[in-house]
Amino acid sequence: MKLLLQHAAKRGGELQLSGEQGALILGEIRRMESTIQGLLDFSRTPVLHRVSHDLRTTVQRSMNLVEGRLVQSGIRLEVQMGEEPLLVHADSEQLNQVFVNLLLNAAEAMSAGGLVTVRLTGSEDCSVARVEILDTGPGISPEIQGRLFEPFATTKERGTGLGLAICRRIVRDHAGQIQADNRPDGGALFRVELPLADSLCGL
């Protein structure tokens, strides 16, 4: 992009671009906007608006938001959840950001279709709600696995490396945990655990 603009400057500021060059510049501008927005999101201290709600509703909303994109990529989306509410005292918008990010990451890991499974469970002692997102992609690269949630850690050619760092901060702000690992049968597993506000467990 810089070379194109420098070339235009040498010609007296007259900028004439082919369709391909224009698309290239537009793509770079969007990438920079995404990077700047990511930096702003990461540096900003979020104000949490916590309310008690059923975590299943938030996860279902996140799935609805990304389902169309997954279908276009030939990726199937399955969910496994019980009928019992998983009540958490949390900011549903912030958690939605986490789950959408994890779902899109799973989809991007599978270039030729595949399966994303979302599994919601409660711990046996009724203290924790657990959301697991599993994919059938290549798994997590060993070169990045140990620093996956650190800022700017990415193997994506055009990624900012801030998405998972923001996810970790949001989960920690909710007194929860987020983990990632490779599945024995292939693919990656991301697990988010959040404290339950209340439960019908054992009733």
Q: Backbone phi, then psi, for 12, in 5-degree steps?
A: 80, 20
pLDDT at 22: 58
- Distance, CA of 41 to CA of 163 (rounded, Å): 10
Question: Do 161 and 153 touch, CB atoms closer than 8 A?
Answer: yes
- Distance, CA of 134 to CA of 119 (rounded, Å): 8
pLDDT at 148: 84
**51-195: CATH number:** 3.30.565.10
The structural domains of the chain, with segments of one domain joined by +, span: 2-43, 51-195
- Distance, CA of 172 to CA of 4 (rounded, Å): 44
pLDDT at 5: 47
Tell me the one-letter amino acid at 91: D
pLDDT at 173: 94
- Distance, CA of 104 to CA of 72 (rounded, Å): 13
Q: Is the pTM value of this prediction over 0.95?
A: no
Per-residue pLDDT of the chain (203 residues; tens, 9 = 90+): 555 545 544 555 555 556 665 566 665 566 555 555 555 555 566 678 999 999 999 999 999 999 999 999 999 999 999 999 999 999 999 999 999 999 999 998 887 789 999 999 998 888 999 999 999 999 998 888 888 888 755 655 555 567 899 999 999 999 999 999 999 999 999 999 999 986 555 44
